Amino acid sequence: MNMKKVLLIAIVAFLGAISASAQKYAIVDMEYILKNVPMYESANEQIKQISAKWQKEVEAKNEEAKNLYKNYQTEVVFLSDEMKANKENEIVAKEKEANELKRKYFGPDGELFKKRESLMKPIQDEIYVAIKDVSEAKGYQMIFDKASSMNIVYYSPKSDISDEVLTKLGYAK
């Protein structure tokens, strides 16, 4: 075989290998999908209401501590050392109570985190299954989230399957 034939066969084999391993990709916009899922909006509203209620409870505890301190300041000249110590301990205990309540509700493993997870996880799981189903039906090997990826510089609107995912979820656009 001459050199040109060998080179041509090598190029054809290389191009065949590239096209055989070509993968199909698509884009979803999770923000767009979530905005169009009524359950998500409802869950978000519940979380806002619960958060506001708990925030008021924490603020009330802080207000109690502030009032104890203000009263202490006005009474301090009339109190014995023992009474001062008792009042100071009462103020510190009330501040600690407020901080513990705040941590209980809003801490890393607090009630708000647990509530958000219990409301959002089923919705996220349902969306994940819909994305997976659409991806498998269309033969996509990888899906990128436009909303969370700062690395996507450009994508063709044809590659966005967000509306198909919403249709799969029963929220046709």
- pTM for this entry: 0.69
Average pLDDT over residues 161-165: 90
Angle CA 140–144–148, to nearest 5: 165
Question: Is residue 78 predicted with pLDDT exceeding 60?
Answer: yes
List residues bridging with 145 in a β-sheet. Answer: 28
Per-residue DSSP letters for 57-120?
Answer: HHHHHHHHHHHHHHHHHHHGGG--HHHHHHHHHHHHHHHHHHHHHHHHHHSTTSHHHHHHHHHH
Instruction: Tell me the β-bridge partners of 26.
Output: 143
Give the pLDDT of residue 20: 44
In percent, the amount of the chain with pLDDT more than 90 equals 60
- In angstroms, the CA 100 to CA 103 distance is 5
Among 10-14, 34-38, 158-162, which stretch is predicted with the lowest mean pLDDT? Answer: 10-14
Q: Please report the pLDDT score of residue 40 as a whole number.
A: 93
Q: What percent of the chain has pLDDT over 70?
A: 84
Pairing of strands 142-145, 25-28: parallel
CB of 29 closer than 8 Å to CB of 147? yes
Which carries the bigger pLDDT value, residue 127 or residue 23?
A: 127
- The domain segmentation of the chain, as residue ranges, is 24-169
Point out the least confidently predicted range of 20-24, 49-53, 85-89, 143-147.
20-24
The whole-angstrom separation of Cα 85 and Cα 82 is 5
Q: What is the DSSP string of 143-160?
A: EEETTT-TT-----GGGB
The CA distance from 81 to 126, in Å, is 63
Rounded to an integer, what is the distance from CA 28 to the centroid of its chain?
A: 16
For 168, the enclosing helix (H) or strand (E) is: helix 162-169
Q: Average of pLDDT values for 68-80?
A: 91
pLDDT digits (tens, 9 = 90+) for 18-65: 444 456 888 899 999 999 999 999 999 999 999 999 999 999 999 999
Mean pLDDT score of the chain: 86
Contact 119, 2 (CB under 8 A): no
Distance CA 117, CA 37 (A): 17
* pLDDT at residue 70 is higher than 50: yes
For residues 97 and 153, the model is more confident at 97
Q: Which of 5-19, 62-76, 97-111, 154-168 has the least mean pLDDT?
A: 5-19
Q: Which of 29-33, 77-81, 169-173 has the lowest mean pLDDT?
A: 169-173
